[in-house]
Amino acid sequence: MSKTRIRIGLIGLCLLGIYAMYAAPTKNIATLVNAPQKYAGQSVEIYIETKIDAIDDTGFWIRQGRNRLRVLGPSTGIKANDFVSISGIMDSSAVMHLKSVRPAKGRRLKMAISLLGLGLIFLLIITAVEWKDGTLRINENA
Protein backbone atom coordinates (compact mmCIF):
# COMPACT_ATOMS: atom_id res chain seq x y z
CA MET A 1 0.00 0.00 0.00
CA SER A 2 1.30 3.48 -0.83
CA LYS A 3 0.42 5.94 1.91
CA THR A 4 1.79 8.78 -0.19
CA ARG A 5 -0.63 8.13 -3.04
CA ILE A 6 -3.52 7.69 -0.64
CA ARG A 7 -2.69 10.97 1.11
CA ILE A 8 -2.30 12.87 -2.16
CA GLY A 9 -5.58 11.49 -3.49
CA LEU A 10 -7.58 12.10 -0.31
CA ILE A 11 -6.21 15.56 0.42
CA GLY A 12 -6.50 16.63 -3.20
CA LEU A 13 -10.11 15.49 -3.47
CA CYS A 14 -11.06 17.06 -0.14
CA LEU A 15 -9.52 20.39 -1.15
CA LEU A 16 -11.33 20.34 -4.47
CA GLY A 17 -14.57 19.47 -2.73
CA ILE A 18 -14.27 22.23 -0.16
CA TYR A 19 -13.38 24.76 -2.86
CA ALA A 20 -16.38 23.69 -4.95
CA MET A 21 -18.79 23.94 -2.03
CA TYR A 22 -17.81 27.53 -1.31
CA ALA A 23 -17.21 28.78 -4.84
CA ALA A 24 -19.91 27.04 -6.88
CA PRO A 25 -21.94 29.51 -8.93
CA THR A 26 -25.11 27.41 -8.87
CA LYS A 27 -27.54 28.16 -6.10
CA ASN A 28 -29.60 25.66 -4.19
CA ILE A 29 -32.99 26.14 -2.62
CA ALA A 30 -31.65 26.35 0.90
CA THR A 31 -29.38 29.26 -0.05
CA LEU A 32 -32.19 31.13 -1.81
CA VAL A 33 -34.69 30.65 0.99
CA ASN A 34 -32.25 31.61 3.75
CA ALA A 35 -31.12 34.84 2.09
CA PRO A 36 -34.00 36.10 -0.09
CA GLN A 37 -32.91 39.73 -0.07
CA LYS A 38 -29.51 38.81 -1.46
CA TYR A 39 -30.99 37.14 -4.55
CA ALA A 40 -33.99 39.43 -5.13
CA GLY A 41 -34.18 40.39 -8.80
CA GLN A 42 -31.58 37.85 -9.85
CA SER A 43 -31.99 35.12 -12.43
CA VAL A 44 -31.15 31.72 -10.96
CA GLU A 45 -30.99 28.16 -12.21
CA ILE A 46 -31.80 25.14 -10.07
CA TYR A 47 -31.23 21.63 -11.37
CA ILE A 48 -29.50 19.53 -8.74
CA GLU A 49 -31.80 16.70 -7.57
CA THR A 50 -34.79 19.03 -7.88
CA LYS A 51 -38.29 17.57 -7.86
CA ILE A 52 -41.79 18.96 -8.31
CA ASP A 53 -43.39 18.73 -4.90
CA ALA A 54 -46.91 20.03 -5.52
CA ILE A 55 -48.82 21.86 -8.26
CA ASP A 56 -51.67 24.32 -7.86
CA ASP A 57 -53.52 26.92 -9.89
CA THR A 58 -50.89 29.66 -9.81
CA GLY A 59 -47.70 27.63 -9.84
CA PHE A 60 -45.94 24.84 -8.05
CA TRP A 61 -43.45 23.92 -5.34
CA ILE A 62 -40.03 22.45 -5.99
CA ARG A 63 -38.00 20.47 -3.50
CA GLN A 64 -34.32 19.68 -2.90
CA GLY A 65 -34.02 17.32 0.04
CA ARG A 66 -35.96 18.94 2.84
CA ASN A 67 -36.00 22.41 1.29
CA ARG A 68 -38.91 23.75 -0.75
CA LEU A 69 -39.29 26.77 -2.98
CA ARG A 70 -42.41 28.38 -4.34
CA VAL A 71 -42.49 28.95 -8.11
CA LEU A 72 -45.09 31.12 -9.82
CA GLY A 73 -45.84 30.26 -13.42
CA PRO A 74 -47.47 27.73 -15.70
CA SER A 75 -47.02 24.04 -14.89
CA THR A 76 -47.46 22.86 -18.46
CA GLY A 77 -45.55 19.67 -19.19
CA ILE A 78 -44.65 18.83 -15.60
CA LYS A 79 -46.28 16.76 -12.90
CA ALA A 80 -45.69 16.01 -9.23
CA ASN A 81 -42.47 14.08 -8.48
CA ASP A 82 -40.86 14.94 -11.80
CA PHE A 83 -37.17 15.73 -11.63
CA VAL A 84 -36.74 19.13 -13.27
CA SER A 85 -34.23 21.73 -14.37
CA ILE A 86 -35.64 25.19 -13.75
CA SER A 87 -34.73 28.85 -14.12
CA GLY A 88 -36.48 31.97 -12.95
CA ILE A 89 -36.24 35.38 -11.32
CA MET A 90 -36.22 35.51 -7.53
CA ASP A 91 -38.19 38.10 -5.62
CA SER A 92 -37.58 39.46 -2.13
CA SER A 93 -39.96 36.98 -0.52
CA ALA A 94 -38.02 33.92 -1.79
CA VAL A 95 -40.50 33.17 -4.54
CA MET A 96 -39.29 32.31 -8.03
CA HIS A 97 -41.01 33.72 -11.08
CA LEU A 98 -40.66 31.04 -13.70
CA LYS A 99 -38.68 31.55 -16.91
CA SER A 100 -38.28 27.94 -18.03
CA VAL A 101 -38.67 24.42 -16.68
CA ARG A 102 -37.76 21.09 -18.22
CA PRO A 103 -38.56 17.68 -16.75
CA ALA A 104 -35.80 15.07 -16.75
CA LYS A 105 -37.63 12.38 -18.64
CA GLY A 106 -36.75 8.77 -18.02
CA ARG A 107 -34.51 9.50 -15.06
CA ARG A 108 -35.98 6.92 -12.73
CA LEU A 109 -35.81 4.26 -15.41
CA LYS A 110 -32.18 5.19 -16.06
CA MET A 111 -31.43 4.82 -12.38
CA ALA A 112 -33.09 1.40 -12.27
CA ILE A 113 -31.19 0.23 -15.34
CA SER A 114 -27.98 1.60 -13.93
CA LEU A 115 -28.41 -0.49 -10.80
CA LEU A 116 -28.20 -3.59 -12.99
CA GLY A 117 -24.95 -2.33 -14.45
CA LEU A 118 -23.62 -1.56 -11.00
CA GLY A 119 -24.45 -5.07 -9.83
CA LEU A 120 -22.69 -6.58 -12.82
CA ILE A 121 -19.52 -4.57 -12.26
CA PHE A 122 -19.57 -5.40 -8.56
CA LEU A 123 -19.61 -9.12 -9.38
CA LEU A 124 -16.78 -8.69 -11.87
CA ILE A 125 -14.63 -6.69 -9.47
CA ILE A 126 -14.91 -9.08 -6.54
CA THR A 127 -13.53 -11.83 -8.75
CA ALA A 128 -10.91 -9.62 -10.39
CA VAL A 129 -9.40 -8.05 -7.28
CA GLU A 130 -8.24 -9.73 -4.07
CA TRP A 131 -6.93 -8.47 -0.77
CA LYS A 132 -3.70 -10.20 0.12
CA ASP A 133 -0.85 -9.34 2.50
CA GLY A 134 -2.26 -5.92 3.24
CA THR A 135 -2.72 -4.76 -0.35
CA LEU A 136 -5.09 -5.18 -3.23
CA ARG A 137 -3.94 -7.39 -6.07
CA ILE A 138 -5.31 -8.10 -9.50
CA ASN A 139 -6.35 -11.71 -9.73
CA GLU A 140 -4.55 -12.72 -12.93
CA ASN A 141 -6.16 -16.15 -12.79
CA ALA A 142 -9.75 -14.86 -12.88
Backbone region of residue 133 per phi and psi (left: phi > 0; alpha: psi in -120 to 50; beta: other values): left
Amino acid at 77: G
| Stretch of residues binding other proteins (CB under 8 A), selected from 32-40, 71-79, 89-97, 124-132 | 124-132
Torsion angles phi and psi, residue 135, rounded to 5: -140, 165
- Kindly state whether residue 34 participates in binding other proteins, applying the rule CB under 8 A: no
- Please, which residues have CB within 8 angstroms of residue 130's CB and are 6 or more apart in sequence? 136, 137, 139
Residues 35, 92: Cα–Cα separation, whole Å: 9
Q: Nearer to other proteins by C-beta: 24 or 80? A: 24
- Kindly state whether residue 102 participates in binding other proteins, applying the rule CB under 8 A: yes
The residues binding other proteins (CB under 8 A) are 1-6, 8-10, 12-13, 16-21, 23-26, 28, 30, 45-49, 64-65, 85-87, 100, 102, 104-107, 109-111, 113-114, 116-118, 120-121, 124-125, 127-129, 135-140, 142
